[in-house]
Amino acid sequence: MARYILRRLGFMLLTMFLVSIAVFLISEVAPGDVARHILGQFATPEQVELLRDQMGLDEPLYVRYFDWLIGNDWRLRRLVGMPLKQVLIPGRADAEWYAIAPDGTMLQWKMKQEGLVEIRVTPDGERTEVLFDGWLVDENGEEYFWGVDTAGHVVLWKKGEAGREVGPASAGRAMIEASGVEYYPIRRGLLRGDPGISFRTNRPVGPTLARRLRNSLSLAGIAFVVIMPIALVLGVLAGLREGSPLDRTISLFSLITTSVPEFASGVFLILVFAFWLKVLPGAAVFPDDTAPLQNPKLLILPVLTLTLVEVGYVARMTRASMAEVMNAPYIRTAFLKGLPYWRIVFKHALRNALIAPITVIMLHVNWLVGGIVVVESVFGYPGLGMYLLDSALFKDINAIEAGAMVMVALAVGSQLVADIIYTFLNPRIRYT
Amino acid sequence: METEKKSRLRKFWESISIVLRSPTAAVGLAIVLFWVFVAIFAPLLAPHDPLAQDASAINQGPSPTYPLGTDNLGRDILSRLIYGSRVILILAPVSVLASVIVGTVLGLVGGYFGGIVDEIVMRILDAVMAFPTILLYLIIIAAIGPSPLNVVLAITFVGAPGIARLVRGLTLDIRTRDYIRAAEARGESALYIMFVEILPNARGPLIIDALLRVGYAIFAIGTLGFLGLGLPPPTPDWGGMISEARKYIWTNPLGVLWPALAIASLVVGLNLFADGLREETMRYQ
Amino acid sequence: MATERPGVGSPREVPILRVENLAISYETRYGEVTAVRDVSFEIGRGETLGIVGESGCGKSTVAFGIVNFLGRNGRIVSGRILFQGQDLVGRSERELRRLRGDRIAMVYQDPMQALNPSLRIGDQMAEVLIVHRRMKKDEAEERCIRMLERVYMPDPANVMRRYPHQLSGGQQQRVVIAMALLNDPALLIMDEPSTALDVTVEAAVLDLINDLQEEFDTAIMYISHNLGVIARVSDKVAVMYAGEVVERAAAEEIFLHPSHPYTLGLMRCVPRLGMEKASSYLHPIRGRVPPPNRLPPGCVFEPRCDFARPECAERRPPLKRLTDGHWVRCFFADEVASKGQEALAARWRKEATVHEPQREPTETILTVQDARVYYSVPARRLFSREKPVVKAVDGVSFHVPKQRTLGIVGESGCGKSTLVRAIIGLEKLSGGGMEFMGFDISVPVSKRDLDLIRNIQMVFQNPDATLNPSFTVGFQIARPLRRFRAVPKDRVKDEVIRLLNLMKLDASYYDRLPRQLSGGEKQRVAIARAIAARPELVLCDEPVSALDVSVQAAVLNLLLEVQRELGTTMLFIAHDLSVVRFFCDDIAVMYLGQIVEIGPAEAIYAPPYHPYTEALLSAVPIPDPTAEQRQIRLSGSVPSALNPPSGCRFHTRCPRREWLPDGGRICEVEPPPWQADTEEHRILCHIPLEQLRRMEAVVSEEVRDAG
């Protein structure tokens, strides 16, 4: 069994690796220049070029992939000559990069009118700014310096090239600063918990993503808890009485509810409960996107919408499996052994009948995720789905990539859980 | 030849009568045929130009001029619904057909050759299938932009792995049959065995799966439209219509109801038909 | 149960089971269909009633009808089922449930399917006692262990903790039988309990049933399609055809004096062990069992009957009493009985030469030299470096002379099918060589020359899988003709029809699809396809074992005809030793990937035997309750080919090892040598030939003459 699970785990890691490449390629190689998209169509070519440099888009693809996946601070520290460290700014969903001097002082550099300024923050939080004078000289006699700027880049400054500002830019990014000659955005990498900066909000993706994920998980979790018992009971009942009026009713009901797209059933529910009956709110508008559970009433319609679509699907799977098992020869044996009906159902049939649907149900997490994106959009619920949708519409690459990887990890992880449950239900795999 | 044609025709009618024995399948087929009819005769049925805006009638309820009311730009909802059926009834089958072709080839190759070829094909398909479908749509459409062709491409890409898995499973089963051995013992080529000996025997489940997938495709096209990733405006697109009308749900609640009903009825009809067909063919065997 | 039991056969004793005029019908989409009608019989204490008939004759329906377990669409239309004097028809589900598994137990085919895959054996057995006897769990388990011991299950305590898939087929069937006997039932219904098992395992299960019957004094209803099995276990026999009992009598009576044309037909269509094609002929029953919704109006057997007269088609014959306890449903039972004697005797007439024996030495067409087929299988343990190898065929050598037939016998897993697939090129040889008509054929089919491919064709086992369901019969027979360009394009259709006629099928079959054909017809089409391009060598992999006995004969006769007309050389695989003996000139006996004995058919079936051959022969069920057959039973099951035993592969199960000094120590260490009995007959064994020659024949050679 260990062998089987390890094998599945191996496949899962392989799948995640392939998926990460796919996600990266699809979103980064997409037609259309991201920098141009961010700056708007009136930006000058220099501005676009500069932004591409600052975003690291001018690097070769494989470098970008590995920077994205495992970060580049360990690589860039050699340029600066000091370890680099990310520091969260208290009270804001934001983080800054510093170079760490041997004595523990955190250093940043900024080009100002008077020249390059070194910002020093001592371990006890004292902040001072001094004019920088530690320039190095290259073989051509030019003075240069690799440092860390205030926006999380490792920058090559050259003495004499004073800071210039390259015009205004659109959304989020107030001004493009171009004091340096070369830029490398510092990343800690997805695997180390840093999916990068959102182009849309100009903030790190991580904290927002976590909050949205929590919202979505609460919605999905509640839906899951509601759906599973209903669906399993309906499916088992229908499967036990295959061909009976009860079975036909349940089957038809599940087929219809499953077929109606979430946005349509969501609309129906809003019309009925919010518009005509006026008993429930029709949209899940929260004052801030922190706490969906504080107002459970807002969750009823979204959960109901998900339930309508999912119950039918799971019930149908369970029904098919149950009906098949009830026709199996070993169930006939159990009847011929003179066992009471419910003993046969619970002891002999149920376990075998659940093997198939449990795996399918877990695989169905994929589908549930899809439902969540739509349902969140229907009800304006601030979850991961909405975040992804907004990011996709804005081409916010870092956010899409991170959100996608989280969703895929959820899906693949649930498959692994399904595999493990499967081995526990199925002794043929447990004892080979 | 003549007799063959005749027997084909007879077989066709036989299968139709088998299907109609199931009431759910018959109802499903009726709904689908209704929409096909609407799509074909759209210019004759639609009372207005679906794109014509009437500034004097914005977000109105049903009236004699506009039987189902108007949208936020004063366009006739009925006409837009009628023309919208055309879009969806062309895009959905085309994209399913494309994914059936791609998926069948992959599944046959993987299933018949087995070994390392199968392993590679399946690992890649697993990776694609690990994506939540909606996420794939989001990423793909976000990357290549919304257009009819791109919608078809996205649905093909998302649907093909599922079909490949189905065909592979069927192939693995059929491959062990003695008639395949007999063909191999005759020294038939791999292509002959895959496409002549195996594929015709996989057609039953494949057709039913494809039918179900047309339902999913309509589902998906609607969802994309709703999320704003579907056909660019002003194309009458049911999902997009719902998304637009939802903003005015408090002033014109019926405006969102009609397209929702339209798409729900079409998908339900297709699924009823496919499901009834499956039940009947299973019983028939 | 303290009441005094009267002795067996006492006339006043109430029979355990008495079935009177039972009729059972099923609701189908064609309306209500009567599957069983007018069935009557009784079984007394300690008695075994054998019910025999082909598939679709309603045998199992009767069995399930007795416990009224007919599913949602089945029902008992009329009749009475008296169990220990009380009528079961119309009883509530609750009352029936109390009887099932307690007073009436049932065992049926395919034990793997009958056991719940996800429950331990112990739980599945113990619950019978817990539910019916309200026993405590540990007490029940103890009783189960004792019962497992009584069915000769090795290590029963351990078996209790296992899951079904961890046991072999024979062990599973023992578990099912033990489970049925736990409550000491008055009636035990067994539906083909040994059919899915290998012949040596089957023999052991049949022995067990005989032992248990003596020990438990249970009434047994034993259903089988195999006359030999019925002859071995039954006291009384009922022959069923198309939902009716057509003949019913004591076992000896029915085998000695069959009086219904169907019974007679069944006996004449299977070869008896010892029959050979040179001296005997199989008589197939024409046509097939009618489906229950299309029964003939008169006698159900009339369309297939050789004795039929016009009145048979008009009126249904009543059940007629012939002698005491011998009932026949035929107008002309007496005539059948007397003519039957002649017919049965005729099949043994040695002078009636049906087939010219091919005895003169001819050139060798196929030579197999030290052939090996190994598979590597995935490692069981996670971190083992060696890849385990299954040696499916390991060092097999033989040659086949032109126009002769070599039979290959052995139990499942002995490698006989793999060997044949290697010859046709579907399996890669791992070592050794093969030559066919002077060409090297040790390469897979993809690397063979088209003419070579044409010359080796194959007939497969499963009639339902042998034809592609999507294409017409004509297309499938024509394919090899086109592919090998055997006839000009415009003559393909004529040639296909000629082949169909050769297979006794008319031209109307040309446009039919396989699903419109019966099993026997499919197999005939498959033979036509195989011989279409006139191959020199046809490999037959169990071509008749999936067919009903009445159809088997027709297919075997066709194969013989083909061989005689086309002079084809054949390789014939089968597990039925009677069929192989009948059909083949030479026989090779395989065990665990090796040939252990090879030689002319008559030499294989007479001493000296290889100990394995001896055991196989003694396991063959013979359709004659008076036949004398020595009982040699093998212990254990076939070892895994993954890790075959050292020395002689048969040493773990060999009952003759003790003949050698030191208890056969040498068998464990050294591979045995080939010993030549005659030039053609060779045995792979350590035991000296002289000693093997002193063996008795397994089946007494004396052939009982009728009358």
Taking CA–CA distances from A428, the nearest residue in chain C reads: C165
Can you tell me the distance from the alpha carbon of B194 to that of C136, in angstroms, rounded to the nearest whole number?
A: 59
Work out the average pLDDT over C69-92: 88
CB contact under 8 A, A343 and C127: yes
Residues of B in contact with A407 (CB under 8 A): 131-132, 135
Nearest C-alpha of chain C: how many angstroms from A11? 15
Work out the average pLDDT over C159-178: 88
- Looking at the partner chain, which of B127, B128, B132 has a beta carbon nearest the beta carbon of A370? B132
For the stretch C349-382, pLDDT in tens is 444 444 555 555 678 899 999 999 988 776 555 5
Helices (H), C403-457: 416-424, 450-455
3-state secondary structure of C21: strand
Work out the average pLDDT over A381-399: 83
DSSP notation for A32-75: S-HHHHHH-TT--HHHHHHHHHHHTTTS-HHHHHHHHHH-SHHH
Contact C621, C673 (CB under 8 A): no
CB contact under 8 A, B186 and C462: no
DSSP notation for chain B: -HHHHHHHHHHHHHHHHHHHTSHHHHHHHHHHHHHHHHHHTHHHH-SS-TT---TTSSS----SSSTT-B-TT--BHHHHHHHHHHHHHHHHHHHHHHHHHHHHHHHHHHHHH-HHHHHHHHHHHHHHHHS-HHHHHHHHHHHH---HHHHHHHHHHHHHHHHHHHHHHHHHHHHTSHHHHHHHHTT--HHHIIIIIIHHHHHHHHHHHHHHHHHHHHHHHHHHHHHT-SSPTTS--HHHHHHHHHTTTTT-HHHHHHHHHHHHHHHHHHHHHHHHHHHHHHHH-
Query: Is the pLDDT confidence value at B86 over 90?
Result: no
CB contact under 8 A, C114 and A333: yes
For the stretch A284-321, pLDDT in tens is 565 555 566 667 777 888 888 988 888 888 888 889 88
Residue C90, both tokens: 């119309």
Strand partners, A100: A106
Which chains, if any, share at least 3 CB pairs under 8 A with chain A? Answer: B, C
Nearest C-alpha of chain A: how many angstroms from B67? 20
CB contact under 8 A, C424 and B185: yes
Whole-number average pLDDT of chain C = 86
For the stretch A178-207, pLDDT in tens is 677 778 888 888 888 777 777 777 777 888
For the stretch C520-569, pLDDT in tens is 899 999 999 999 989 999 999 988 888 888 888 888 988 998 888 888 99
Tokens 């009118």 locate to: A113
CB contact under 8 A, A337 and C128: yes
Query: DSSP code of C671?
Result: P
C407 and C498 inside one domain: yes
- Write down the pLDDT at residue A20: 84
- Looking at the partner chain, which of A23, A255, A415 has a beta carbon nearest the beta carbon of B139? A23
Residues of B in contact with C476 (CB under 8 A): 179
- Write down the pLDDT at residue C385: 57
- Looking at the partner chain, which of C457, C466, C476 has a beta carbon nearest the beta carbon of B178? C466
Domain A205-425 sits in CATH 1.10.3720.10: yes
Q: How many CB atoms lie within 10 A of CB B262?
A: 24
Query: Is the pLDDT confidence value at C281 over 60?
Result: yes
- Looking at the partner chain, which of C106, C117, C163 has a beta carbon nearest the beta carbon of A336? C106
- Write down the pLDDT at residue A84: 84
CB contact under 8 A, B184 and C445: yes
Query: Is the pLDDT confidence value at A175 over 50?
Result: no
Ranked by mean pLDDT, which of A140-144, C309-313, C336-340, C596-600 comes out on top?
Answer: C596-600
CB contact under 8 A, A400 and B253: no
**Is the residue at C30 inside a domain?**
no
- Write down the pLDDT at residue A228: 86
List all residues of chain C from 269 to 288 with a beta carbon under 8 Å from chain A: none
**Is the residue at C647 inside a domain?**
yes
Q: Is A113 in the C-facing interface, judged by CB distances under 8 Å?
A: no
CA angle C680, C682, C685 (to 5 degrees): 175
pLDDT grade for C702, boundaries at 50, 70 and 90: very low
List all residues of chain A from 310 to 349 with a beta carbon under 8 Å from chain C: 328-330, 332-340, 343, 347-348
- Write down the pLDDT at residue B220: 87
For the stretch B110-157, pLDDT in tens is 999 888 888 888 888 887 887 788 888 888 877 777 788 888 888 898
- Among C294, C324, C355, the domain boundary falls at C355
- Write down the pLDDT at residue C356: 53
- Looking at the partner chain, which of B129, B131, B267 has a beta carbon nearest the beta carbon of A261? B267
Q: Is C128 in the A-facing interface, judged by CB distances under 8 Å?
A: yes
| CA distances to A27, A130, C235, C274 from C602, in Å | 77, 110, 32, 8
Taking CA–CA distances from A341, the nearest residue in chain C reads: C97
Can you tell me the distance from the alpha carbon of C578 to that of C556, in angstroms, rounded to the nearest whole number?
A: 12
- Write down the pLDDT at residue C188: 92
Amino acid at A64: R
- Write down the pLDDT at residue B58: 75
Whole-number average pLDDT of chain B = 84
Residue C484, both tokens: 């090998």
- Write down the pLDDT at residue A283: 67
- Write down the pLDDT at residue A58: 77
Work out the average pLDDT over C81-95: 88
- Write down the pLDDT at residue C187: 93
- Write down the pLDDT at residue B71: 76
- Among C160, C182, C204, the domain boundary falls at C182
Taking CA–CA distances from C163, the nearest residue in chain A reads: A427
Percentage of residues of chain B with pLDDT beyond 70: 95
- Looking at the partner chain, which of C448, C450, C468 has a beta carbon nearest the beta carbon of B179? C468
3-state secondary structure of A160: coil
Residue B122, both tokens: 């399946």
Contact C81, C70 (CB under 8 A): no
Residues of A in contact with B228 (CB under 8 A): 393
- Write down the pLDDT at residue A206: 81
C451 and C557 inside one domain: yes
CA atoms in the 13 A half-sphere facing the CB of A395: 21
CB contact under 8 A, A337 and C381: no
For the stretch C567-585, pLDDT in tens is 899 999 988 888 898 889 9
Work out the average pLDDT over B204-219: 87
- Write down the pLDDT at residue B101: 95
Peptide bond into C608 cis (omega under 30): yes
Strand partners, C202: none
Candidates B181, B191, B282: best to mutate against C (most CBs of C within 10 A) is: B181
- Looking at the partner chain, which of C426, C446, C465 has a beta carbon nearest the beta carbon of B177? C465
ipTM over 0.85: no
Can you tell me the distance from the alpha carbon of C469 to that of B200, in angstroms, rounded to the nearest whole number?
A: 9
Residues of C in contact with A246 (CB under 8 A): none
Ranked by mean pLDDT, which of A267-271, B254-258, C285-289, C418-422 comes out on top?
Answer: C418-422
Nearest C-alpha of chain A: how many angstroms from C93? 10
For the stretch B225-244, pLDDT in tens is 888 887 777 778 888 888 88
Residues of C in contact with B178 (CB under 8 A): 460-462, 465-466
C619 and C538 inside one domain: no
Which chains, if any, share at least 3 CB pairs under 8 A with chain C? Answer: A, B
* Cβ pairs bridging B and C (under 8 Å): 55
Work out the average pLDDT over A349-361: 81
Overall domain count for chain C = 4
pLDDT grade for C486, boundaries at 50, 70 and 90: confident
* Sheet strands (E) in C185-235: 187-191, 219-224
Tokens 């099951």 locate to: C637
Domain ranges of chain A: 35-192, 205-425
**Is the residue at C435 inside a domain?**
yes
The pTM for the full model equals 0.83
- Looking at the partner chain, which of A243, A336, A343 has a beta carbon nearest the beta carbon of C69? A336
Query: Is the pLDDT confidence value at A91 over 80?
Result: no
Nearest C-alpha of chain A: how many angstroms from C390? 17
CB contact under 8 A, B181 and C426: yes
C412 and C484 inside one domain: yes
Strand partners, C52: C224, C239
Residues of A in contact with B121 (CB under 8 A): none
CB contact under 8 A, A30 and B228: no
- Write down the pLDDT at residue A387: 87
Work out the average pLDDT over C459-476: 91
* Cβ pairs bridging A and C (under 8 Å): 78
CB contact under 8 A, B181 and C458: yes
For the stretch C118-159, pLDDT in tens is 889 999 999 999 999 888 999 999 999 999 988 888 888 888
Class of domain B22-42+73-284: mainly alpha
CB contact under 8 A, C453 and B179: no
Query: Is the pLDDT confidence value at A405 over 90?
Result: no
- Write down the pLDDT at residue A130: 84
Work out the average pLDDT over C301-310: 88
Query: DSSP code of A132?
Result: -
pLDDT grade for C683, boundaries at 50, 70 and 90: very high
**Is the residue at C487 inside a domain?**
yes
For the stretch B163-209, pLDDT in tens is 999 999 999 989 888 999 999 988 899 999 999 999 999 888 898 88
Nearest C-alpha of chain A: how many angstroms from C564? 45
3-state secondary structure of C586: strand
The helix or strand, by DSSP H or E, that contains position A323, with its residue range, turns out to be helix A297-326
Residues of A in contact with C132 (CB under 8 A): 338
Which chains, if any, share at least 3 CB pairs under 8 A with chain B? Answer: A, C
Range of the structural domain that residue C140 is part of: 113-182
Nearest C-alpha of chain C: how many angstroms from B178? 5
Residues of C in contact with B188 (CB under 8 A): 483
